[in-house]
Amino acid sequence: MHGRPRKAPKPEDEAASSAKAQKLRALQTQFFTFHHNKIYTKEAVELSAKLLEINPESYTAWNYRKLAVEHYLNLPDCNPDSIKSVLDDELRVVENALRQNFKSYGAWHHRKWVLSKGHSSIDNELRLLDKFQKADSRNFHAWNYRRYVAESMKRSEQDELKYAEDMIYTNFSNYSAWHNRSVLLSALFEKKAGGFLLKEKVLPEEYEFIHQAIFTDPDDQSGWFYHLWLLDQTVTTDSPLLASSWPGHGSDVLLVGDRCYNGSAFSPFSALHSDSGSFPIVLYFNQPVGGVNSSTVTVECGFNKNEDLFWKPLSASNSQTAQVWVAHLKVPSSDLHSTVEVSVGHSKGIISTRGFVYSHPSMFSFKVHVQPMERDSSQVSVAENISLREENFKVYGTQSEESIIDSFDQLIIKNGHETTASNWRFEALAKEIECFRELLSLVDCKIGKLTLARLLKAYDAMSYPFANKLVHSEEVLELYSDLMKLDPTHYQFYKDEHSIVLLQKYKDSASSAICDPICLRLNNLSLSRMGAFEKLLWVQMLDLSHNELQSIEGLEAMQLLSCLSLRNNKLRSLTTLEPLRKLKSLRILDISYNQIGDQSIDTTRYVCSSPLSHSVGSELNRDETVTSDVALINNWEAFFIFKDFNLNQLDIVGNTIADEKFKSVLVKIMPKLKQLDGKLLD
């Protein structure tokens, strides 16, 4: 364990172990007899103590002692002295058990339970902890218990910080002490206590403190983890913010009949295809929030009542918090020219998962134009019978780079208080970047390269929050490329991070990526992960073919998507497609030539990057259609992925699962499907 080779046991050790096991079995047999018969005599309780001295991990023995204590405390002749005597015996038993194994969960929990009774002195606990922490200063059980004791004694966080600092100076590699320091500082920041009121005073000092550990031993991970926590404290805002929206502020949405028309006088990302008489309003927050409803978000327009809007989180079905929320605004079929104003957070109620209130109200507006038009049956819908070939990306015309970049900008909600970060944050990040560049010039350190990449990305995000720029993208990409070579064990992690930066860089040079106001081509980029969805809410046609995607988590935010190509990626199961269930406008889907069906067991339902996947199959017993059809029962994952789709075209050829039998199941699941693998259906 921990890289230490296992030693072959000596004959005398084997004999001692055998004798111990035989004694343990005899004790357990007798103990279970007492326990099952609820015998709490002095002999029975002492026998459980002997058992725990040999095996402190016997949870049943600890629970038995709790029952025995409650039995004694409820006796008619019980008095304060006898209560103290019983509880002191329990503390003694715990201490003896901890001498055998001072990382015993059961022993530490039992000691906390005894103290919670309120009849034992807590003054001795810190002295006891000092003994155990000298024996193993990184024993996280002891540190957890210390926090409980310090709180019970009303010991100040400053005193505990001094203790943690002393333990760190004794051993820079004490991860538990660093972690305890982060817990204490977090509590002080939350309380805004004393001299710890301002992060700009504390965090720069903490950076200096951690440098001593990192430069002393760059290969030790303890200090690096603490540095990562400091970086998060530096760049993360407590209060949630509205990062972007669709429609964007100042944009125009023109609907003609059941189709959207993109006139030259209108915003380049307003061409929306809608056959339902409605279109989505999408709110994209910088962190998951709850409480988004008609009270906290007000939509004012002349054709729809605010109370009629239902805001839905784009997350797992059983969750009421999400980073992305959507509501569908219904529009009349008659002529309409109206302005829509959306106010977010002017009434309290939007709260982040961390418990912080949305305290910076935002507002954006856009115009809606409706022109009724009869649809000619000879016309072919824009969303039908098209593929993602190059010529189809140019069918709507071309657009200049400047106007495309304007499109990106219009999506962003520019919160005035956040357009520029505090000077101390810039200074702290700039100093850290300089520091780690110096470190890497002296030593080739993997975690140092990773930290520098994170610092550069954070600095760019803080410097250009609305300019879609990554000034240091080339340096960051080079760092992740080096890490993929230096640390192949974590190759996929570095590859994913590399993909996100590459995608951001690609979108920065928008003229090469976008051929059309509503289309985005991101093929042949070796992407293994998607990101920056808050800037892609306008996209209706998306080409992600010939990449290395194993997950499409986050794609559910792109509510306008009607045409999507995931051809030639590395999707391994049907459940990885679950984010697509949230895309009600999706009509064309190409998932051909992936790896769906290669694995007999769908591991993504258990180890999956998307939280949505855990809901697959939860409705199986409640749906009569499935339970009455054997073919659908045998393909229940396909049923729950595709049953809500309104696809016209689907390409699934090139996957192991895509045999004729499976295709017939898909046709049964999706009766509106008109083309499958390029062939017209009857």
Per residue in 60-91, pLDDT (tens digit) is: 999 999 999 999 888 888 888 888 888 989 99
Q: What is the DSSP letter of 209?
A: H
Q: Has residue 394 been placed in a domain?
A: no
Give the pLDDT band (50/70/90) at residue 356. confident
Please report, for the chain, how many H helices and E strands are present, in that order: 21, 17
Q: 679, 678, 670, 682: which is closest to 586 by C-alpha?
A: 670
Does 122 have pLDDT greater than 60? yes
Does 471 have pLDDT greater than 80? yes
Shared domain for 527 and 612, answered yes or no, is: yes
CATH number, domain containing residue 628? 3.80.10.10
User: In angstroms, rounded to a whole number, what is the distance separating the alpha carbons of residues 188 and 288?
Assistant: 24
Q: Are 537 and 557 in contact (CB under 8 A)?
A: yes
Give the pLDDT band (50/70/90) at residue 412. low
Mean pLDDT (the chain) is 81
| Beta bridge pairs of residue 652 | none
Residue 405's pLDDT is 35
Residue 305's pLDDT is 86
| Boundaries of domain holding 283 | 242-262+270-375
Shared domain for 532 and 637, answered yes or no, is: yes
List Cα–Cα distances, 328 to 276, 346, 560, in angstroms: 10, 21, 12
Shared domain for 557 and 524, answered yes or no, is: yes
Name the more confident of 611 and 491: 491
Name the more confident of 464 and 13: 13
Query: Strands 675-676 and 649-651, how do they pair?
Result: parallel
**Among 180-194, 324-338, 406-420, the least confident range:** 406-420
**Among 256-265, 336-345, 529-538, 580-589, the least confident range:** 256-265
User: Other CB atoms closer than 10 Å to residue 77's CB: what's the count?
Assistant: 5
Q: Has residue 232 been placed in a domain?
A: no
Domain boundary among 513, 537, 562: 513
Shared domain for 345 and 437, answered yes or no, is: no
Q: Has residue 409 been placed in a domain?
A: yes
Domain boundary among 470, 491, 513: 513
Q: If you average pLDDT over residues 151-167, what whole number do you get? A: 89
Q: What is the DSSP letter of 415?
A: -
Residue 374's pLDDT is 56
Q: What is the DSSP letter of 10?
A: P
Locus of tokens 């954070």: 458
Structure tokens belonging to residue 135: 């024996």
Locus of tokens 């008619």: 76
Q: Has residue 440 been placed in a domain?
A: yes
User: In angstroms, rounded to a whole number, what is the distance separating the alpha carbons of residues 463 and 531?
Assistant: 19
Give the pLDDT band (50/70/90) at residue 415. low
Shared domain for 557 and 631, answered yes or no, is: yes
Q: ∠ at Cα 300 (294, 305), nearest 5°? A: 60
User: Other CB atoms closer than 10 Å to residue 431's CB: what's the count?
Assistant: 14
Residue 289's pLDDT is 94
List Cα–Cα distances, 619 to 317, 607, 624, 668, in angstroms: 11, 21, 10, 18
Structure tokens belonging to residue 252: 């125009």
Q: ∠ at Cα 89 (84, 95), nearest 5°? A: 125
Shared domain for 484 and 572, answered yes or no, is: no
Name the more confident of 372 and 323: 323
Give the pLDDT band (50/70/90) at residue 272. low
Q: If you average pLDDT over residues 293-297, what whole number do you get? A: 94
Positive or negative CA dihedral for 343, 346, 349, 354?
A: positive
Q: Are 642 and 670 in contact (CB under 8 A)?
A: yes
Q: ∠ at Cα 216 (212, 219), nearest 5°? A: 120
Residue 133's pLDDT is 81
Does 1 have pLDDT greater than 50? no
Q: Has residue 69 been placed in a domain?
A: no
Q: If you average pLDDT over residues 144-164, what whole number do you get? A: 89
Q: If you average pLDDT over residues 47-67, what whole number do you get? A: 91
Q: If you average pLDDT over residues 397-411, what whole number do you get? A: 39
Long-range pairs, 487-490, Cβ under 8 A, ≥24? 487/446
Residue 508's pLDDT is 59
End-to-end CA distance of the chain: 63
Structure tokens belonging to residue 669: 């699941």
Q: Has residue 137 been placed in a domain?
A: no
Q: If you average pLDDT over residues 422-444, what whole number do you get? A: 89
Torsion of CA 592, 593, 596, 599, to 10 degrees: 170
Shared domain for 527 and 670, answered yes or no, is: yes
| Most confident among 68-77, 78-87, 223-232, 376-385 (mean pLDDT) | 223-232
- Percent of the chain scoring above 90 in pLDDT: 41
User: In angstroms, rounded to a whole number, what is the distance separating the alpha carbons of residues 298 and 288?
Assistant: 20
Name the more confident of 590 and 26: 590
Structure tokens belonging to residue 530: 């998607």
List Cα–Cα distances, 356 to 192, 228, 237, 406, in angstroms: 15, 22, 10, 32
Shared domain for 462 and 475, answered yes or no, is: yes
Give the pLDDT band (50/70/90) at residue 263. very low
**Among 498-507, 536-545, 552-561, the least confident range:** 498-507
CA atoms within 13 A on the CB side of 223: 23
List Cα–Cα distances, 582 to 75, 257, 324, 579, 639, in angstroms: 61, 24, 11, 6, 15
Give the pLDDT band (50/70/90) at residue 15. confident
Structure tokens belonging to residue 192: 């805004």
The pTM for the full model equals: 0.77
Q: 119, 37, 122: which is closest to 78 by C-alpha?
A: 119
Number of domains in the chain: 3
Shared domain for 251 and 356, answered yes or no, is: yes
Domain boundary among 487, 513, 539: 513
Residue 326's pLDDT is 95
Shared domain for 502 and 525, answered yes or no, is: no
Shared domain for 440 and 493, answered yes or no, is: yes
User: In angstroms, rounded to a whole number, what is the distance separating the alpha carbons of residues 285 and 533?
Assistant: 11
Give the pLDDT band (50/70/90) at residue 621. very low
Does 552 have pLDDT greater than 90? yes
Does 397 have pLDDT greater than 70? no
Structure tokens belonging to residue 390: 């190059």
Q: Has residue 219 been placed in a domain?
A: no
Q: Has residue 66 been placed in a domain?
A: no
Shared domain for 493 and 425, answered yes or no, is: yes
Residue 108's pLDDT is 92
What are the backbone angles phi and psi of residue 306, rounded to the nearest 5°? -60, -35
Torsion of CA 575, 576, 577, 581, to 10 degrees: 70
